[in-house]
Amino acid sequence: MDTVTQMLFGAVVAQAGFRRRLGRKAILVGAAVGLVPDLDVAAGWIAGPFANWVHHRGVTHSIVFAPVVGLLTYWALKAWQVRRPPDRRMDLDRIRAWTWLTVLVLATHPIIDVFTSYGTQLLAPLSRHRFAIDAMPIIDPLYSLALVVALAIGAFATRRVGLATTSAAAALFFIGAYTLFAWSLNDRVEDVAAAQLSDPRADVTAYPTLFQPYLRRVVAETPEDVRVGFYSVLNPGPIRWSAFDRGDRPRTVATTREAEIFRWFAMDKVIWRSHANGNGETVVEALDYRYGLFGGSELGFWGIRAVVDGSGRLVAGPETFRNRPNADRDRLTLFWRAVVGPSS
């Protein structure tokens, strides 16, 4: 999920489990701890987008990260207490509470991330495998709103700790149910798409789109092509498929380190395309087709691009590029109509 939602989630976990023992400051600490795993995006700021693909949702999103940081937190708090005056030291139960808050917030961060299509390295650094469940978009306003409401109740219920913790627990329960509901929609849409295609060779996968769980982007892979369509459970009907030839994959580009990183990052959901640039050279592009939207970006929002000469020799690249559509009024209207139908 997006970083703001992760901070909200960490704050709500703290409110649900630690407000009574640690007070309202636990909520602020929970939000701060919820931010920590996403600091791995600094790799991209320093070393560029390929480093971001390698390291974001890497070791800081691993299942081993939370317990390791928890142990360090426990030892650091105990060492800090020795240096404090005796009348200002925390008791051992309070130290344990802060430690468990840290562990739970850090552990839930990758758990909710894994329900998006991006891919999360849950076993890093022992394994580079990317785990992904195609249930939720990275940004969902209703998901985030449930967390905001719980925190607002907690902020105003200064003397009613029970109300604060109950509202936070209810928000977490809602998010769990909402996520499972969205996951079930993916299975439903895949069944519909497979039935409409009636092609036993097609490997059908549905992906969440933007801001809501109902409109799914459906990708059908065959040996010859990749077909992309959209289906909304609120606006059911025949899927209009766009077919894209798989294209050639020039070895001089595909075997570069950059292309191997991209293929790993995209979890092998890569399609190759090429076109002449007018200078006797060929522009070769690879796109990550897990993400995309109608209006020119059906095949993906990002990819890599390289230039080869007539003999197939690499001339330039590979470099990254983005293919995001403009978020103008007409496109948002088209998106809304695809979700709910033209008459809504």
Mean pLDDT of 89-94: 85
Decide if 219 is inside a domain. no
* From 133-137, 192-196, 239-243, 331-335, the region with the lowest mean pLDDT: 331-335
Quote the CA–CA distance of 29 and 11 in Å, as a whole number. Answer: 7
Decide if 180 is inside a domain. no
Residue 343 banded pLDDT, cuts 50, 70, 90: low
Mean pLDDT of 199-224: 92
* Count of structural domains, the chain: 2
pTM for this predicted structure? 0.90
Decide if 268 is inside a domain. yes
Residue 326 banded pLDDT, cuts 50, 70, 90: confident
Domain carrying residue 50: 3-133
The distance from CA 157 to its chain's CA centroid, rounded to whole angstroms, is 33
Boundary-marking domain end, from 117, 133, 149:
133
Looking at residue 198, what DSSP letter applies? Answer: -
151-164 residue pLDDT tens: 999 988 877 888 99
18-39 residue pLDDT tens: 999 999 999 999 999 999 999 9
181-203 residue pLDDT tens: 999 999 999 999 999 988 888 89
Give the percent of the chain with pLDDT over 70. Answer: 99
Quote the CA–CA distance of 190 and 318 in Å, as a whole number. Answer: 34
88 Cβ contact partners less than 8 Å away, ≥ 6 residues apart: none
Boundary-marking domain end, from 102, 133, 164:
133
Decide if 294 is inside a domain. yes
Asked if pLDDT for residue 329 goes beyond 90, the answer is no
Amino acid identity, position 185: L
Decide if 73 is inside a domain. yes
244-284 residue pLDDT tens: 988 777 888 989 999 999 999 999 999 998 888 878 888 99
Strand partners, 286: 272, 304
Decide if 269 is inside a domain. yes
Decide if 19 is inside a domain. yes
